[in-house]
Amino acid sequence: MKNTVVTFKEAKAKGEKLTMLTAYDYTTAKLIEEAGINAILVGDSLGMVMLGYEDTLSVTMEDMIHHSAAVSRGLKNTLLITDMPFMSYQTSVYDAVVNAGRLVKEGHAQAVKLEGGKEVCEHIRAIVKASIPVCGHIGLTPQSVNAFGGFKVQGKGVEAAQRLLDEARAIEEAGAFAVVLECVPKALADKITQSVSIPTIGIGAGAGCDGQVLVYQDMLAMYQDMAPKFVKQFAQVGKQMTAAFADYKKEVSDGTFPAMEHSFKMDEEILGRLY
């Protein structure tokens, strides 16, 4: 079944949980699609897990377009959402529409995601008006890491919690089709989920959200620079990869790889004619 923004709306109405994972390349996108995940997010987390930056701030539009286009070539039925990178929309409503358009035209995204609350509602409204679906993102918004003073849980006090609830309502009102809640207390995420008609997609926001998203290198235990409390490691792929790389090194060193079945044969008679 093809997943679209309509699927998202229907899933919330039916009480069916939505699943989203990040991907940044063709091969991983195909594997995720085979698993029947509803949506792939080409997150600007690619700055950290693919490009090795300390945060997401250095990611460019060209990075996002390049990876989004690669992912799109692996998908048929999975909704493709691509992140708007830092400073591709904060600068003006005009920039927001132009850059969202580039992610669709050049990156083949079917929707875009941007971070922030009331300050980006005008931008969301304008992008939606250009017929591009928008997913909001509130709570711990990594593009604001310097303003937050680090990667910290958000919305713990009354004022901060009320602000997040108001932001979710404002994002819904601006026309977003979904909103990501990152690193907020479960009870607050539950309250937000019950207070808006668009699906909430949680990451570190508890089981009450309408859906969940994880960075695939985190859930496969491939990325070791950070270990957030909200990540469950569904497989030890990182360890399996290192073990396979080490086996390869050993077999090349001791001559057991390549074996005859990995080699191409040649007619002995032709070989005999060489001088």
Q: Binding residues for ligand KIV, per CB under 6 A?
A: 22, 41, 43-45, 83, 137, 180, 182, 203, 213, 215
CB of residue 46 vs ligand KIV: minimum separation in angstroms?
Answer: 7
Say whether 269 is catalytic.
Answer: no
Among residues 20 and 268, whose Cβ is nearest to ligand KIV? 20
Among residues 44 and 190, whose Cβ is nearest to ligand KIV? 44
CB of residue 74 vs ligand KIV: minimum separation in angstroms?
Answer: 17
CB of residue 104 vs ligand KIV: minimum separation in angstroms?
Answer: 18
**Neighbour-count burial for 148-172, b at 16+ CB within 10 Å, e otherwise:** eeeeebbbeeeeebebbbebbbbbb
CA distance 83 to 19: 17
CB of residue 41 vs ligand KIV: minimum separation in angstroms?
Answer: 6
Among residues 223 and 264, whose Cβ is nearest to ligand KIV? 223
Identify whether the C-beta of residue 124 lies closer than 8 Å to the C-beta of residue 116.
no
Nearest residue to ligand KIV, scored by beta-carbon proximity: 43
What 3-state DSSP class applies to 150?
Answer: coil
Residue (of 183, 168, 72) closest to 118 by Cα position: 168
CB of residue 158 vs ligand KIV: minimum separation in angstroms?
Answer: 26
176 φ, ψ (degrees, to nearest 5) = -65, 150
Residue (of 191, 199, 151, 146) closest to 171 by Cα position: 199
Give me the catalytic one of 159, 182, 251, 269: 182
What 3-state DSSP class applies to 253?
Answer: helix
Angle at CA of residue 139, ends 3 and 125, nearest 5°: 60
Q: Which residues are catalytic?
A: 182
